[in-house]
Structure formats: structure tokens, C-alpha cells
Structure 1
């Protein structure tokens, strides 16, 4: 990969805790937001100024769409939070690795203390031939980009 070439979006991997998540089709909505505090002040000569500064950081979210398959580890993890309400024990670090065309990791994005906050099952329709997918929204507390 030459200097300045952008990475492709189709070569990536995902790890949840200590295991690889299989059958990923899409990762979207990767966002972290920080509130903006606006402070209005008046100078000694009466001129109004507006200053903006960072406020509290909000938790982030990411949505993962994956093929519905026989892999049980990811499903068990989702069940921990959505069915059992065990958020504290289910919190895991999620790592997204963006790779070059040779499969070498070029960028690593770590989502710290993540847990499944939403699950959406497949749309099923008689007479239609398409892959069954599940969509999971993961809420996380911190992001580290390497």
C-alpha cells in the first residue's frame, strides 16, 4: 500500500473480548460525541464575546450487522445484557481492525466497556432468497484509535 492511499472499507475484523466475531457484513454509526459548552462574556469595554469549550463526553454507539449463523459466543454475549440484564458482567472491549490488502492491520479502533443495548432480528419472508442478518447496537464508554 503506497503512502497516501486510502484504506478499503471491506477488509476488517472484529474482536469482542478474546474471540473473533464472525460473519460481519457492516459496521456503521461509529460515533463519539462531546458536548459543547458555550460561555457568553462581556469584556471590560462592554464587548460581548462567545467562547466555546469542550463539555462532558457522551457514551458512543456502533451498529454491527452480521449474518445469522451458528456461532454462539456473540449470541451469548447479547443475551447477557438484553435477556439477563447483566450489563456489569457483559461489558467487553470491542476491537475493530482495519486491514490493508495483504491482511495486515493498519488501524485499530478499541471501544471500551461495550455492551449490547439493542438487537434487531432478521426480516423473514416466504418466497424471498436473501441472507438472514441480525443487527446489534453496542454502547461503549470510551474510544481509543491507534
Structure 2
């Protein structure tokens, strides 16, 4: 890849622990955010000085949209927290691998101690012929971009 070339955001893979999640349509909400703290002081002449400095790094959430299929690994992981309330075993590290046109990984985004916090089933309509998709909100404690 030449310097300055960007890669397509439509080629990616999601690794959850030891397995790869199949049939993913979209990932949204990838953000890295930090609190901003205002410090107000008075100078020796009585002038107000306002300084901004970094505060704590925020945790986050992403939403994965995927086709409903017969794959059970991802569904079982979601059930561990939302049905079985087993957060200790459900916490996993997730990696989102962005790929170039040759399907080579060019960037990885790691989410630490992630777990499924919300599941939304498909919209069912008799007059529609589209695929059945589910959305899963995943909460994580830390994000690392490499």
C-alpha cells in the first residue's frame, strides 16, 4: 500500500476470544474519549486563568449488527451475560481487524474486558423480504489502537 492510500472500511473481521464472529454487517460506536478538566486559577495580578487538562479516559460501547444464522459461539457468549448473568466468564477481549484489498490486516482495535450489555432482535414484517439481523451492544473497559 502506498503512503497516503486509505483502506476500505468495509473489509474487517471481529475476533472474540479464540473464535471469529461470522456474518457481521456493521460495527458502530468505535470511539476513544477522555474527560477534559477545567482548572481555574487567579494570577498574581488577579486575572482569571482557565487551563484545560486531560482527565480520566472513558470506557465505551460499540454496536455490532449481524445476520441471524446458525452460528452459536457469539450467541452463547451474549447469553452468558444477558440470560445467565455470568459476567465473570463472559468478559472477553475483542479485536477488530481492519483489512486491505488483499485481505491483510493493516490495523487492529482491541477492546478489553468486553461483554454484551444489550441485544435487539430483528424487525419482523410479513411484507419485507430482507435478512433477519440482530444488534448487540458491547460494553468495554479499555480500547487500544495499533
Q: Helix, strand or coil for the counterpart of 2:88? A: helix
Paired residue total: 146
Alignment of 1:6-17 (within 5 A): 6-17=6-17
| Structure 1 unmatched runs, 5+ | none
Map of 1:48 onto structure 2 = 48
Alignment of 1:19-58 (within 5 A): 19-58=19-58
Q: Helix, strand or coil for the counterpart of 1:76? A: helix
CA drift of 1:33 comes to 2.2
Tell me if 1:124 matches 2:124: yes
CA distance in 2, matches of 1:87, 1:31: 23
CA distance in 2, matches of 1:57, 1:28: 19
Q: Helix, strand or coil for the counterpart of 1:32? A: coil
Contact kept? 1:30, 1:61, Cα under 8 Å = yes
Map of 2:134 onto structure 1 = 134
Larger proportion of strand = 1
TM-score by length of 1: 0.97
Map of 2:63 onto structure 1 = 63
Q: Single out whichever of 51-60 and 5-14 deviates more from structure 2.
A: 51-60
CA drift of 1:67 comes to 0.4
Contact kept? 1:92, 1:113, Cα under 8 Å = yes
CA distance in 2, matches of 1:133, 1:110: 24
| Structure 2 unmatched runs, 5+ | none
Map of 1:89 onto structure 2 = 89
Contact kept? 1:32, 1:61, Cα under 8 Å = no
CA distance in 1, matches of 2:115, 2:107: 22
Q: Helix, strand or coil for the counterpart of 1:89? A: helix
Question: CA offsets per residue over residues 78-98 of structure 1, 9 Å max, x none?
Answer: 000111111121000000000
Q: Single out whichever of 32-41 and 117-126 deviates more from structure 2.
A: 32-41
TM-score by length of 2: 0.97
